[in-house]
Chain A
Amino acid sequence: MIAEIGHYAVVLAFMLSIAQGILPLIGAHRNDTALMGVAAPAACGQFMFVLIAFCALTYAYVVSDFSVALVAQTSHTLKPMLYKVSGVWGNHEGSMLLWILILALFGLMVARFGRNLPAGLRARVLGIQGLIGIGFLAFLLFTSNPFLRLDPAPFEGQGLNPLLQDPGLAFHPPFLYLGYVGFSMAFSFAVAALIEGRVDPAWARWVRPWTLVAWTALTIGIALGSWWAYYELGWGGWWFWDPVENASFLPWLVGTALLHSALVVERRDTLKSWTILLAIIAFGMSLLGTFLVRSGLLTSVHTFATDPERGVFILGLLIVVIGGSLVLYAIRAPMLKGGGLFAPVSREGALVLNNLLLATATAVVFLGTLYPLALDAIGGGKVSVGAPFFNATFVPLMVPLLIACPVGAMMAWKRGDLPGVVGRLKVAVGLALLVVLATVMIDGNTDIVAALAMGVAAWLVGGAAVDLAERTGLFRISLSDTLRRAANLPRSAWGTAIAHSALGIMVAGITASSSWQTERIQIVRPGDTVELAGYEVTFKGAGNVPGPNYTALRGTFELTANGRRVTMLYPEKRDYPAEKSSTTEAAIHTTPIADVYVVLGDSDGKGGWATRIYHNPLVPWIWAGAIFMAIGGMVSLSDRRLRVGAPKRAARKTPVAEAA
């Protein structure tokens, strides 16, 4: 009965989305308040019904109702409660329902918090959200219904992929979707602005918080996925340039560019049509990622048993949404007239450079991900594009971006003073040089590229610190004045400094972990000691340990430094009988400057065990950087300017359509 309520709620949400997608748009066109008024209640209703459906599915998972086909396929009574709940989105149908729930949540937030928006814009934004909702609810209902029943119901479920039974992965999809779907807001605002034919600083100020929410969530989502890959996949890597990873990285790159270009629209009333295009592309990349993964295109070499109907549906949706909005863009964008002029050397100029480099980086990842598929599709042969390609193309694009970042952030609007800014950054330059020298001295091997990369990391952190010191007058005026200035500094300035220095922390982590990793692969017998990077790892033995829904083969290792015990490490290999599969659980000892990472391999049958032990310097800094980046986003989001909303728009001036 509960499943039928869920199914019915989806149907009702679908009906409401049709109303929400059509009536407000007509209303806004005719300036009909009654029709525009449909938008907000429809959005609230849609959220309510999708929430009911989501709760119904969650209930089916929690009580292990195996008469629901999806639950029978992806759950098991012995699974811990956390994974029963996270199992709701650990499959195709449920994850699409989560996607729609988040879409409806954003709709609800516009309806609820968008009161300061002009009525027409609000109705149009909600209308476009409704149109997206129609597409995805139809997709769910007609190709991926999560509420289908199974008769007779099996006695036990088939269980969830053990790799997904992990706290990191339990929260990875919701954050990722919050990001993906969050870009639908920027998209809806962009399309609404195109329909209205105007984009002004007020528009940018409305769009920025939504983009920030999406970007922050996507940052956390990608970081969680990468962290999970690091501790779960068992070879110490954290980013593989895998097509599925790239699918989530593409919207992040475009979203980052969008955050920066929206700033120019907000402050200087220019770069309008480019910003609109980025908003469309950011959501387009989110949809593309969904299409690539949902259609099974990426895994076709493995004859992935996919439903072609689903792939075709999403491809159609992608073409309609992106094609339609690009056509609208082509018609309307030329009418958007830019405002403020600026010299090439200026904050605007720096942000244009940022966008240019990020757009090219997006092109690299896009080509690298899709080129093999496209070439294969036209019969051009098979080609592999892997990490070596991306490292050779993506990294060189990031270098100028990172070097320019602190300079651009301190540049004045309209006309900047490059020598002046570099002069003010001399402390950061000095810090960077010091770090390069120190790295060369400590390293000994003089890996000069890695040393320079560490210098870039220090430059980013130092640059952000100098920027804050300059703005607060640190060391130039009295401390109390500095503190007062710091308190009055806009939150967005703090957010920028935090996010940019976080980038530096991340660069340091990436550089150090990939340049100075120590690895030991060997067979160990109980009592054997392996030395690496100032630690001794002693193997004590291995034995079976029961788990809630698995049995683990657990190795015991003692980690000592200079003969003093640091900690015990217990790497495991878990065997899941219900799912008939196994996972490796690396044991990791994390310190602020490095990880010691131990993986238990197979027995050699003669009392020895294959083991892999790594010392990964600064690897925790990668995720610390991601967390700080997200914190920067949240701090920026709490800026008063965004909270109080945009200033009132002046009465409509000459309509753009007439002016053009």
Chain B
Amino acid sequence: MRIFLFIAALLAAPLCAPALSPLAPSEALALQPDEILKDPALEARAREISKELRCLVCQNQSIDDSDATLARDLRILVRDRLTAGDTDTEAVDFIVERYGDFVLLRPPFKNSTLILWIGPGVIFAIGIFGVTLWHRRRRVAVAAPVAPLSADERARVDAMLAEKPDQ
């Protein structure tokens, strides 16, 4: 089904990464040499932050992967904040303040994302509970005394046992 993404992307606004939207003129690829910070430690932090931020005009791409101009602007913004002395959290908060939670690829834990975050855990717990319950019931059901065979059934069993196996 992957291909449909590209058919979709083909028709989509050419704002986005050429990688996903080939209509765009050949733009530069993702992170550019001129954006990279001199300080490797700062740059490494900028890369980690970039992977958590969404390119807002793209289909599910981080600003680290995206070729869109907006993504480039955001990458430079992140680096500016870090150079200015922001901590990672401050830099991310600065961007969230301007673009909203939508920019976070890992949605924050709040009321509107409650189901998203705890849903799988609840399902797992229900699963464990269900399996335990089922297992216990099965044991009880099988352990329950079985009605003795009637005379007729007894005779049929004897007949079957007396029969020679087919093969």
A binding-site residues for B, Cβ under 8 Å: 90-92, 95, 161-164, 169, 172-173, 176, 180, 225, 228-229, 233-235, 237, 240-245, 247-248, 289-290, 293-294, 296, 298-299, 301-305, 338, 341, 344, 352, 356, 359-360, 363-364, 367-368, 371, 375, 380-389, 392-393, 397, 521-523, 573, 575, 579-584, 599, 601-602, 610, 612
User: For the complex, what is the distance from the CA of A381 to the CA of B110, rounded to whole Å?
Assistant: 12
Is there an interface contact between A523 and B124, defined as CB atoms closer than 8 Å?
no
Contact between B3 and A240, CB atoms less than 8 A apart: no
Let me know if A299 and B127 touch, CB within 8 A.
no
Known: A173-B3, A247-B1, A305-B11. Contact between A387 and B29, CB under 8 A? Answer: no
A356-B127, A387-B51 are known contacts. Are A371 and B12 too (CB-CB below 8 A)? no
Cβ contact of A385, chosen from B18, B27, B62, B107, cutoff 8 A = B107
Q: Please, how many angstroms separate the alpha-carbon atoms of A150 and B26 in the complex?
A: 32
Q: In the complex, A368→B59 CA distance in Å?
A: 14
Q: At the interface, yes or no: B33 with Cβ under 8 Å from chain A? A: yes
Instruction: Knowing that A243-B59, A521-B36 touch, tell me 16 more A-B residue pairs with CB under 8 angstroms.
Output: A228-B2, A244-B5, A299-B59, A302-B12, A302-B59, A359-B123, A382-B101, A383-B112, A385-B105, A386-B105, A386-B106, A389-B105, A521-B33, A580-B23, A584-B19, A602-B29
Is B51 a contact partner of A388 (Cβ separation < 8 A)?
yes
The answer to whether B33 and A304 touch across the interface, beta carbons within 8 angstroms, is no
Closest to A381 in B: B112
> Does B139 touch A at the CB level, under 8 Å?
yes
A176–B62 alpha-carbon span in the complex (Å): 26
- Which one, B26, B113, B139, contacts A602 given CB within 8 A? B26
| Complex interface: chain B residues within 8 A of A248 (CB) | 1-2
Pick from B2, B23, B26, B112: contact of A225, CB below 8 A.
B2
Q: Determine the distance from Cα of A34 to Cα of B50 in the docked complex, in whole angstroms.
A: 66
The answer on a CB contact under 8 Å between B107 and A384 is yes
A173, B135: Cα distance in complex, Å? 41
Measured in the bound complex, the distance between the Cα atoms of B59 and A515 in whole Å is 25
**11 pairs, A vs B, C-beta closer than 8 Å:** A162-B22, A173-B1, A234-B29, A244-B5, A302-B8, A359-B123, A363-B120, A383-B113, A387-B105, A388-B51, A389-B105
> Which 3 pairs of residues, A with B, have the shortest CB-CB distance?
A386-B105, A302-B12, A581-B22
Q: Which residue of A lies closest to B47 (CB)?
A: A519
- Chain B 1-27: CB-based contact to A (< 8 A → 1; otherwise 0): 111111111111100101110111111
Cβ contacts B47-71/A at 8 Å (1 or 0 each): 0000110100001111001000000
**Contact present for B22 and A161 (CB under 8 Å):** yes
B142: Cβ under 8 A from any A Cβ: yes
Q: Which of A244, A341, A359, A364 makes the CB contact (< 8 A) with B127? A: A359
Q: Roughly how many angstroms separate A650 CA and B65 CA in the complex, as a whole number?
A: 60
Least Cβ distance of A62 to chain B in Å? 20
B157 at the interface (CB under 8 A from A): no
Nearest CB in chain B: distance from A383 CB, A: 5
Which of B3, B19, B33, B54 contacts A235, CB < 8 Å?
Answer: B19
Nearest chain A residue, comparing its CB with the CB of B108 = A383
A384 touches B3 (CB 8 A): no
Given the known interface contacts A240-B60, A363-B123, A385-B107, the answer about A299 and B54 at a Cβ–Cβ threshold of 8 Å is no
- State the CA gap A394–B36 with chains docked (Å): 31
**Chain A: CB-nearest residue to B15:** A302
**Chain B residues with CB below 8 A from A229, complex form:** 2
Neighbouring A residues of B150 by C-beta, 8 Å: none
Least CB distance, B130 to chain A, in whole angstroms: 9
Q: Which of B5, B103, B120 contacts A360 (CB 8 A)?
A: B120
Is residue B32 contacting chain A, with contact meaning CB distance below 8 A?
yes
The interface residues of chain A lying within 8 Å CB-to-CB of B115 are 367, 371
Residue of B nearest to A292 (CB): B1
Question: Is the beta-carbon distance between B102 and A341 smaller than 8 angstroms?
Answer: no
**B76 sits at the interface (CB 8 A):** no
Most A CB within 10 A of own CB, among B5, B113, B135: B5
Are B2 and A388 neighbours in the complex by a CB distance under 8 Å?
no
Which residues of B are found within 8 Å of A352, using beta-carbon distances? 131
Question: Given A180, A294, A296, A386, which contacts B60 in the complex, CB threshold below 8 Å?
Answer: A386
Q: Is the C-beta of B116 less than 8 angstroms from some C-beta in chain A?
A: yes
- B112 — nearest CB in chain A belongs to which residue? A380
- Whole-angstrom distance from the CB of B45 to the nearest CB of chain A? 15
Known A298-B8, A302-B13, A584-B29; contact A176-B19, beta-carbon cutoff 8 A: no
Do A161 and B6 touch (CB < 8 A)? yes
Across-interface contacts of A302 in B (CB, < 8 A): 8-9, 11-13, 16, 59
Contacts of A228 in B (CB 8 A): 2
Contact B3 A169 (CB under 8 A): yes
Q: How far is the CA of A248 from the CA of B34 in the complex (A)?
A: 38
Contact among B3, B106, B112 with A392 in the assembled complex (CB-CB below 8 Å): B106
Whether the Cβ atoms of A583 and B22 lie closer than 8 Å is yes
Assembly CA distance A385 to B18 (angstroms)? 22
Interface assignment of B128: CB less than 8 Å from any CB of chain A:
yes
- Answer yes or no: B119 CB below 8 A from chain A CBs: yes
CA distance A523 to B27 in the complex (A): 15
> A303 to chain B: closest CB distance in Å?
7
Say if the beta carbon of B154 comes within 8 Å of chain A: no
Q: Which residue of B lies closest to A356 (CB)?
A: B127
Q: Shortest CB–CB separation between residue A76 and chain B, in angstroms?
A: 14
Residues A242 and B23 in contact in the complex (CB < 8 Å), given A302-B8, A383-B101: no
| Bound form: Cα–Cα A338–B131 in Å | 14
Whole-angstrom distance between the Cβ of A337 and the nearest chain B Cβ: 9
**Looking at the complex, which one of B23, B30, B60, B112 makes contact with A581 (CB distance below 8 Å)?**
B23
